[in-house]
Amino acid sequence: MLVGPSGERSRFAVVDTGLLKVAADVDVAGAFTYDAISDDGTSLYLIERIGAKAAQALVGVNPAYAYRVRVYDVPSAKLSETLVVDVKLAAQTNGDNAETRIDGIMNGIYQSSVPSRDGQWNFSFYYNPHRGPFIHVLHLNTRSAFCILDLPIVANGYDKRLQWSLALAPSGATLYASNGALGLVSAIDATTLKVRNSATIAGLPATTAGPSRTTASSVLSRDGRKLYFPAERGVALVDTNDFSLRGLFLTDRTIASVSLSPDSRRLYAMSDDGTVTVADANTGRELSEFTTRDATALLRVDAR
């Protein structure tokens, strides 16, 4: 999936990785951003922002963070007229974190996303400033959505509430939502789409200074036992069995993004200035360091 600039028109290229060629050149009117694509390449999901002019005609829509998911049907080369709505909340207009509407418009600030292992689902974390956090789940084959709403809501610290990230267990059975600034972790059953439990991580330091980032990332070890995510300072290591804090590494810096080597032995942590520190994933001992230019996140570490 290749994404072009967004403005009066938005362009996307769907690439067939098997044949190594462009399968479709998508050009749509309006400001759209990429969300997900189905495994068969027929359904391209795009985020349509609801602008100020359109919001004037809609009750209860804030143009600062209102959006809806649209489907571009690749075979017919056009946006589908069928709206993507939450299958269980389509008739509701209020009373839930996501504020799902029958017209498909939702209210939330995007944080992070992760696809399911089987390619059928895409999980995206959003924060609604008035109601709280939610996970917008797309079923990529049926073009429908489902919102996970029973996540912990914290009353204060707006900036800290924008530091949620998602990580999926290697088994694909459990999705973890973590927020190091708030010291919260939730475990979600990726099959039933229900929150199993949420916990406040004891031992994470709290600071009064405002955070220098509004996004974060998290990653799980190969066996699914260790969850790593940025804390207010450094990287937290949490045991997924009991949510206990097993380590706090690199506490002299603010970390924006983390990743692990394929064998889960080395931790890669990117600071706000683009510096990447390589550390022992069990002890936090620093092994090496290198700088990047204009990089903002670590996506994946592959073996050479």
Over the stretch 24-62, which tens digit does the pLDDT of each residue have? Answer: 999 999 889 999 999 999 999 999 988 888 777 777 777
Q: What is the DSSP letter of 222?
A: T
Question: Would you say residue 209 has pLDDT above 60?
Answer: no
In degrees and rounded to multiples of 5, residue 27 shows phi and psi of -135, 115
Give, in order, the Cα–Cα distances in Å from 237 to each of 81, 226, 246, 276: 45, 6, 5, 18
Structure tokens at 280: 């022992």
pLDDT at 106: 84
Q: How far is it, in rounded angstroms, from Cα 143 to Cα 40? A: 13
% residues pLDDT > 90 (the chain): 55
Q: Where does the pLDDT of residue 88 fall: very low under 50, low under 70, confident under 90, or very high at 90 and above?
A: low
Q: How far is it, in rounded angstroms, from Cα 93 to Cα 99? A: 6
pLDDT at 31: 86
Question: Would you say residue 191 has pLDDT above 50?
Answer: yes
Cα-based angle 155, 157, 163 (whole degrees, multiple of 5): 110
Task: Kindly report the three-state secondary structure assignment for every residue of 117-174.
Answer: CCCCEEEEEEEECCCEEEEEEEECCCCEEEEECCCCCCCCCCCHHHCCEEEECCCCCE
Q: How far is it, in rounded angstroms, from Cα 120 to Cα 274? A: 33
pLDDT at 91: 43
Q: What is the pTM of this model?
A: 0.88
Structure tokens at 253: 């810096």
Question: Would you say residue 149 has pLDDT above 90?
Answer: no
Structure tokens at 205: 């330091």
Question: Would you say residue 124 has pLDDT above 50?
Answer: yes
